[in-house]
């Protein structure tokens, strides 16, 4: 196992009950994107066979790699979810982990040989947050607001006659 220290965490999908099914509905994944602005750190990740890519934002160039863990093993049995803990090793609610949080990431690496292709794969195992940028969703501008609601009880066997409804003359 390897531990990547002091990485920036982005786009974390680590809720044990809701792995990301966007790309694979049969075997959803827990995942996180790790980032660094240090070229030497990015090179060390690349030397560990991580798929590191450069990108750019308003602050300049950064390097990123995506780490994942499938929710099911090859035989279909469930995997243990990715552990998300704080510096004190107490569990953290995954819904509070905001982009730009800092932490340590533990990965499991293994060699593979599939259909003549060989290499080293990495599986996300644990995330330890050392600086939490707490995510708080802001309310939508077009969200519903509280309003009164009328409840009319209708019996299951009650029928509604079509004659009870009057059609308006609507020009469409």
The model carries a pTM of: 0.77
Per-residue pLDDT of the chain (172 residues; tens, 9 = 90+): 899 999 999 999 999 999 999 989 999 999 999 999 999 999 999 999 999 999 999 999 999 999 999 999 989 999 999 999 999 999 999 999 999 999 999 999 999 888 889 999 999 999 999 999 998 877 777 777 888 988 887 766 666 665 555 566 666 6
Torsion of CA 52, 54, 57, 59, to 10 degrees: 90
CA–CA gap between residue 101 and residue 106 (Å, rounded): 16
Among 78, 164, 42, 66, CA closest to 121: 66
């Amino acid at each position: 196992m390897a531990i990547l220290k002091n990485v920036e965490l982005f786009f974390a999908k680590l809720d044990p009950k809701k792995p990301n099914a966007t790309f694979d509905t049969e075997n959803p994944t827990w995942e996180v994107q790790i980032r660094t602005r240090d070229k030497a750190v990015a090179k060390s990740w690349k030397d560990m066979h991580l798929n590191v890519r450069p990108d750019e934002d308003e602050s300049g160039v950064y390097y990123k790699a995506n780490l994942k863990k499938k929710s099911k093993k090859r035989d279909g049995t469930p995997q243990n979810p990715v552990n998300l803990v704080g510096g004190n090793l107490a569990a953290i609610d995954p819904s509070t982990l905001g982009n730009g949080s800092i932490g340590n990431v533990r990965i499991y690496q293994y060699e593979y040989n599939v259909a003549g292709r060989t290499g080293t794969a990495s599986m996300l195992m644990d995330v330890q947050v050392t600086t939490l940028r707490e995510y708080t969703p802001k309310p939508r501008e077009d969200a519903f607001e509280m309003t009164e609601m009328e409840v009319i009880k209708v019996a299951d066997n009650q029928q509604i006659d079509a004659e009870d409804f009057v059609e308006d003359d609507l020009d469409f």
